[in-house]
Structure 1
Amino acid sequence: MTVAHHNPIIPGFSPDPSICLVDGIFYLVNSSFHLYPGLPIYMSNDLISWKHIGNAINRPSQLSLSRATTFVGLLDDGTELVATGGLYAPTIRHHNGITYIICTNVIHGTTDVLGDEHSEQFIIHTTDIRLGNWSDPIVFEFPGIDPSLLFDDDGRVYVQLCKTGPEFEIYNSEIDITTGARIVEPTLIWTGWKKGYTEGPHIYKKDGWYYLLCAEGGTFQYHMLSMARSRNIWGPYESYEMNPLYTASGTAQYVQNTGHGDLFQDQNRQWWVVMLGVRMKDGRSIMGRETFLTSVDWPYDGWPTIQPVTCDGNLEGNFKVEIQDSFAAPWVYLRDAKLDRYHMQDNRITLHADPVEITSADGSSTFVGQRQRRLEGTATVTVYKPQHSTSVRAGLALYKDEHRFLTIGYDFRLQQVVFNGLNQAKSFSQTEAQKVELQDFMSFKIDYTETSLQFSFWVNDAGWSDLATLDTAILTDLDFTGPVIGIFAIGRDVAVEFGDFEVDTV
């Protein structure tokens, strides 16, 4: 299969990819952390064109994201880590007509301290991915992250996980896939090659070997893929003498931080790998962790060789979403959203304002948006003056989490256009305000490139006026999430109408 693919294949906020082939169609899932609906599903029949077709966590009753909050704290080397809770590192597999996703829900505590968290592992399944009827989760306990599934030839089902703590190590367990019950308790099978942040395990059975693929080095500049293998799934595992299997660390490649991959075969048995990476320019990686694809040579009884990950720049035209007349894919909310506060009709969206601020880690601010998919583009929206407008703020936001966002909007009480920027990880805070008397409506715009962000407004037919311009470095951190562009309304149950909301126009 010759594939002239364009990287990234899933642009924007799309880390920790996992993929499977079902009836000639590729299905891929990513981590979604604090966003609802969660675990976005993408499909392709050729590895070139991709569509976002839905989300596996698509009902509030499936699980809670109320503690998918974000911690900002210091690592041992003094750098700031921005760690968001929620849905981590799903694995998708298909077996006997059923598609399974196994995943971790990282639930943060209330102390706002790194490490105050616990993990719930869960399995969901469906017999029709396109229909999107995913089951309620089967929850099972394990103190770690990044679970994976292997359906062995003899019918046994194994789960591989990363046990976190002072050491990151890989454990294997046998389970009953229908109940999640353990048949064999988790057993340590590999401590890793570099013995640092060994995570993201997947086992593949090939040529009589169990090949264990892992990520190591942490998900930032030292990220890598490593491999070990054994004749027995329980080990012992021998490390590949040419590890790391793949890394961009120490190179001048545009795509950096590569790792957390999943190997797979296409319809013609050719091997490939999907992995996360970031487009890094002069220390900036505004799009966050994205999904990349490259080919793999894997000889019989040997070790795989991963070809270099290349990137085609701002060629996100091969990525599509299935736009719907309701808040389904590609729309996202924050944590456990109050869905009755959102209404869409034609090109109008009505938000019923809530007093929960965007800065709040408790509750869900009235915000709905879409992942930024283009490296360069424009987002716009028009806000209409509400009938009761004395205590509401509404506008356009570029959001990463409650500690890091940039907004432009109108404060109807103060009669001001206001820009607010915050990044607590960089001790950055900026506010710009301009007195404007609003008649019937006002439009807002964000122009974005790889290096700059410009926030503007249009009122009373006066043309566009710039309010703030920033370097994208202000939102580049050691973090897990990517940019979401959306609309917000903050106040006390005031209905605010928005029109012509668009993201990624060029």
Structure 2
Amino acid sequence: MAATYQNPIIPGFAPDPSICLIDGTFFLVNSSFHIYPGLPIYMSDNLIEWKHIGNAINRPGQLSLARATTYLAPWDDGTIMVGTGGLYAPTIRHHNGITYIICTNVIHGPSNEPGDERTEQFIIHTTDIRSGKWSDPIVFDFPGIDPSLLFDDGRVYVQLCKTGPEFQIYNLEIDLLAGRMVAEPALIWTGWKKGYTEGPHIYKKDGWYYLLCAEGGTFRYHMLSMARSKSIWGPYEAFEMNPLYTASGTTQYVQNTGHGDLFQDRNGKWWVVMLGIRSKEGRSIMGRETFLTPVDWPCDGWPIIEPVTCRKDSGVAPNHRLDDSLAAVAWVYLRDAKLDRYHIRDTHITLRADLVELASPDESPAFVGQRQRRLEGTATVTLYKPQHSTPVHAGLSLYKDEHRHFTIGYDFHQQQVVFKGLNQAKRFSHTKTERVEVQHSVSFKLAYTEACLQFLFRIQGEHWRELSTIDAAVLTDYDFTGPIFCCPVGD
């Protein structure tokens, strides 16, 4: 099985993967942070062809993303880490005919500063994952991130990372339906390197409880480590050959690998999905994506993970198998979206303008988009002149968060094409304008490669004209989210 899989299996803004096998079909979920609908679900029969079939957080009122804001956290070396709130590191599991997702909603406080936040752990479930009908969240009160579920001998356990000065792994038993703790949480592992130990999953195999974790932070020192115990409550002994897997210190194309989930295919063969980035000359335009690689896990032994492979010259090849054709599934909005603003029919989108800008830290601007799925390609949009005079401005953007967005658009009041590029994490700001009169329509194109992004426009019947070109390094940061192509509209 999966002899010809191509990485990344889920390209573009697809971090923190978790996977399970349900009735012979694989289902995978990723973090989504500030994006609505949240927690995208992907399906595959063979680990080769993947289809985006839905989103687990998919209706207004299911939960709030209003405080899924983004802060800028300076490090001692002057680097800025970009931290976004919202939906972190889900785990998907199937038990007795019911599929469960457990996840953290990170809610930033009013100061929007690191440390001013609280977390809500929640569980949602469905009896038919293909239907998209997920329950309302059951919230249980325990601080931390990255929760995981284990069903074992009639009991339900949660493992998660308790953050603070130390990142440590706790285990607790819960009443799944009531969302309450049955047994007090217990510290079971402080980690191998004792630095940012998170993303725990426990697997019961050959009489052992194997604890898989991510360590080192989600950037250059990211890794997978493992420990095991005869009791779910520990004590856990670390694998003497840790890290179990890392790309740190190598020249591999796929870097920052970690935060994985082990699973078996229909033939009992072991695999792992994990996040990683495609890094070329210091540029990583796609952000964190989902990668797959085989695992050899001998009886009573430790898993051996094969190196993650991904051809440098693959261009768009790894991405073409992802079927995102269900338009209602693929479209995304920001935070608590006001869906009555939008009307989407085939390739035509009608948006009602709003005063909220892309730079708003906590509101939802008039914004509709899709994740960037290809390493190289183009995104285009055509705007039609309103029938009546209006001060509206609209266009095409590449968006990551309120601090980082790049837009080419038309200001109908000033009658000019405008490019605005902003990355506050890199102290980058650039604006360029060109006066153009639009009689009927104006089109915009964003042509992108691993190296650069080119912003172009044309008036009906004319040739494309370049307004600005941006080095892809400007979009490469220590961050959690990935690029989204979107159409913003403002007054």
CA-to-partner distance for each residue in 1:272-317, whole Å, 9 max, x for gaps? 0000000000110110000000000000000000000001332111
Q: Single out whichever of 192-201 and 433-442 deviates more from structure 2.
A: 433-442
Q: How does 1:358-397 map to 2 (within 5 A)?
A: 358-397=358-397
Give 1:461 deviation, angstroms: 2.0
Counterpart in the other structure of 1:176: 175
Counterpart in the other structure of 1:31: 31
Q: Is the 8 A contact 1:119 1:143 kept in 2?
A: yes
Aligned CA distance change for structure 1 residues 137 and 2 (closer, same or farther; 3 Å): closer
- SS of residue paired to 1:259: strand
CA distance in structure 1 between the aligned counterparts of 2:358 and 2:388, rounded to whole angstroms: 22
CA distance in structure 1 between the aligned counterparts of 2:451 and 2:389, rounded to whole angstroms: 36
Counterpart in the other structure of 1:337: 337
Aligned CA distance change for structure 1 residues 193 and 447 (closer, same or farther; 3 Å): same
CA distance in structure 1 between the aligned counterparts of 2:389 and 2:242, rounded to whole angstroms: 61
Aligned CA distance change for structure 1 residues 283 and 183 (closer, same or farther; 3 Å): same
Counterpart in the other structure of 1:43: 43
Counterpart in the other structure of 1:322: 325
The aligned length equals 487
Instruction: Please give the TM-score of this superposition, normalised by the length of structure 1.
Output: 0.95
CA-to-partner distance for each residue in 1:399-450, whole Å, 9 max, x for gaps? 0000001000000111110000000000000000000111011000000001
Question: What's the % identity of the aligned pairs?
Answer: 73
Instruction: Please give the TM-score of this superposition, normalised by the length of structure 2.
Output: 0.98
CA distance in structure 1 between the aligned counterparts of 2:163 and 2:73, rounded to whole angstroms: 17
CA distance in structure 2 between the aligned counterparts of 1:389 and 1:159, rounded to whole angstroms: 58
Q: How does 1:390-409 map to 2 (within 5 A)?
A: 390-409=390-409
Give 1:371 deviation, angstroms: 0.2
Q: Is the 8 A contact 2:443 2:460 kept in 1?
A: no
Partner AA of 1:228 in structure 2: A
Q: Single out whichever of 415-424 and 459-468 deviates more from structure 2.
A: 459-468
Structure 1's consecutive aligned runs of 4 or more residues displaced over 6 angstroms after TM superposition are none
CA-to-partner distance for each residue in 1:237-272, whole Å, 9 max, x for gaps? 000000000000000000000000000000000000
CA distance in structure 2 between the aligned counterparts of 1:75 and 1:234, rounded to whole angstroms: 35
Counterpart in the other structure of 1:130: 130
Q: How does 1:216-235 map to 2 (within 5 A)?
A: 216-235=215-234
Counterpart in the other structure of 1:114: 114
Q: Is the 8 A contact 2:53 2:326 kept in 1?
A: no
CA distance in structure 2 between the aligned counterparts of 1:381 and 1:418, rounded to whole angstroms: 15
Give 1:78 deviation, angstroms: 3.1
Partner AA of 2:469 in structure 1: T
CA-to-partner distance for each residue in 1:80-107, whole Å, 9 max, x for gaps? 1000000000000000000000000000
Counterpart in the other structure of 2:265: 266
Counterpart in the other structure of 2:284: 285
Give 1:2 deviation, angstroms: 5.0
Q: Single out whichever of 315-324 and 302-311 deviates more from structure 2.
A: 315-324
Counterpart in the other structure of 1:475: 475
- SS of residue paired to 2:130: coil
Give 1:142 deviation, angstroms: 1.5
Q: How does 1:203-242 map to 2 (within 5 A)?
A: 203-242=202-241
CA distance in structure 1 between the aligned counterparts of 2:366 and 2:288, rounded to whole angstroms: 25
Counterpart in the other structure of 2:94: 94
CA distance in structure 2 between the aligned counterparts of 1:331 and 1:234, rounded to whole angstroms: 43
- SS of residue paired to 1:329: helix
CA-to-partner distance for each residue in 1:136-187, whole Å, 9 max, x for gaps? 00011111100000000x1100000000000000000000111111001111
Partner AA of 2:483 in structure 1: P
Counterpart in the other structure of 1:502: none
- SS of residue paired to 2:129: coil
CA-to-partner distance for each residue in 1:33-86, whole Å, 9 max, x for gaps? 000000000000000000000000001111000000000121244321000000
Q: How does 1:40-79 map to 2 (within 5 A)?
A: 40-79=40-79
- SS of residue paired to 2:349: strand
Partner AA of 2:61 in structure 1: S
> Does the alignment pair 1:4 with 2:12?
no
Q: Is the 8 A contact 2:68 2:85 kept in 1?
A: yes
CA-to-partner distance for each residue in 1:112-155, whole Å, 9 max, x for gaps? 21111110000000000100100000011111100000000x11
RMSD between superposed Cα atoms in Å: 0.9
Give 1:3 deviation, angstroms: 2.4
Partner AA of 1:179 in structure 2: A
Q: How does 1:152-171 map to 2 (within 5 A)?
A: 152=152, 154-171=153-170
Aligned CA distance change for structure 1 residues 391 and 251 (closer, same or farther; 3 Å): same
Q: Is the 8 A contact 1:92 1:101 kept in 2?
A: yes
